[in-house]
Amino acid sequence: MSYERNWAPDWKKELKRYLVNLKKTLNLKVVNFYQICKVSIKNKKKHHCIPQKKKTEKQYISERRHKEGFNESSNTNHPSSITYLSDAIGLNPENEFAYLNRGDAYYSLRQYKKAIEDYSKTIELDPENDTVCSNRGLTYSVLEQYEKAVSDYNKAIELAPEDTYNYVYLSRINIITGNYDSALAVITRALYLPINTETEALALYIECVVKKLLGKDTSLSEREFSKIIKNDFTIWWDFSKLDSWLKNADIDDETKALIKEKSNLLATHLG
């Protein structure tokens, strides 16, 4: 069996430079103003010719505060970002992206409960926002509330089935909770979708691990993993959850050795 993939396009260069500092501190999907623009266009198409209400002065000021807050987060100045974003929310309580970005700032400061509150408010305002479902799922995972995390990741996949990021993180939770068959089913789906190099490397790593746990042949997965690991790419990945699970997992030494070997290889690409 061979995987046929269409390579996903990279972020625009200028946007990637703008977000790189934030991505180093967050393991989150970042909603930026380019994405907000796309959402606005999609919503306009959905509502066709329904006339848009003129923005109030408070809404304009809220948008400026929001942009200032986002800029502060991109420079890893998260306390200042929270101040700006709180102002934006105070001026316009319907600004769902301000809640989302403030939730990201709280997450980076490890104030996870506050992050979840903001993510939940974003979902209340925009139930079809797959990014916030993914970010709240990650936050629940950090708090080891895995049932809620699985629910959020499944919702994110339902809303954006082409986003392979969510499959990788859902599979990791399934491994930690002992649902190996589910982990394999989810990661197999990801590998048949358009996927970029770094996410494919993570997916093949998960596939190697879960196939070994299930006593299945890992030869093809290991060859694919060995091939892609030679490429030049950077991942943003937290090994701590799997490392903690591995210490207490009731599995044989050969399986543990394989998982440690693949983890060490993947860790050479950490940003």
Query: Do residue 177 and residue 133 come from a single domain?
Result: no
Query: Do residue 141 and residue 179 come from a single domain?
Result: no
Percent of the chain with pLDDT over 90: 76
pLDDT at 251 over 80: yes
Query: Do residue 98 and residue 212 come from a single domain?
Result: no
Residue 229 CB neighbours (<10 A): 16
Query: Do residue 139 and residue 16 come from a single domain?
Result: yes
What would the mean pLDDT of 200-206 be, rounded to a whole number?
98
Report how many domains make up the chain: 2
* Residue 140 belongs to a domain: yes
Query: Do residue 104 and residue 64 come from a single domain?
Result: yes
User: Which pTM was predicted?
Assistant: 0.80
Query: Do residue 144 and residue 43 come from a single domain?
Result: yes
Query: Do residue 68 and residue 183 come from a single domain?
Result: no
pLDDT of residue 73: 87
Residue 244 CB neighbours (<10 A): 12
Over residues 39-55, the pLDDT tens digits come to: 433 343 333 334 456 77
pLDDT of residue 56: 87
pLDDT of residue 108: 96
What would the mean pLDDT of 8-22 be, rounded to a whole number?
42
pLDDT of residue 53: 62
Over residues 54-85, the pLDDT tens digits come to: 778 888 898 999 999 999 988 999 999 999 99
Query: Do residue 207 and residue 105 come from a single domain?
Result: no
Please compute Rg for the chain using Cα positions. Answer: 20
Query: Do residue 154 and residue 177 come from a single domain?
Result: no
* Residue 2 belongs to a domain: no
Report the mean per-residue pLDDT for the chain: 85
CATH number for the domain harbouring residue 184: 1.25.40
Over residues 159-180, the pLDDT tens digits come to: 999 999 999 999 999 999 999 9
CATH number for the domain harbouring residue 109: 1.25.40.10
Give the structural domain span for 201. 163-271
Query: Do residue 172 and residue 155 come from a single domain?
Result: no
Higher-confidence position of 19 and 269: 269
Query: Do residue 83 and residue 207 come from a single domain?
Result: no
Query: Is 94 in contact with 76 (CB distance < 8 Å)?
Result: no
Query: Do residue 22 and residue 147 come from a single domain?
Result: yes
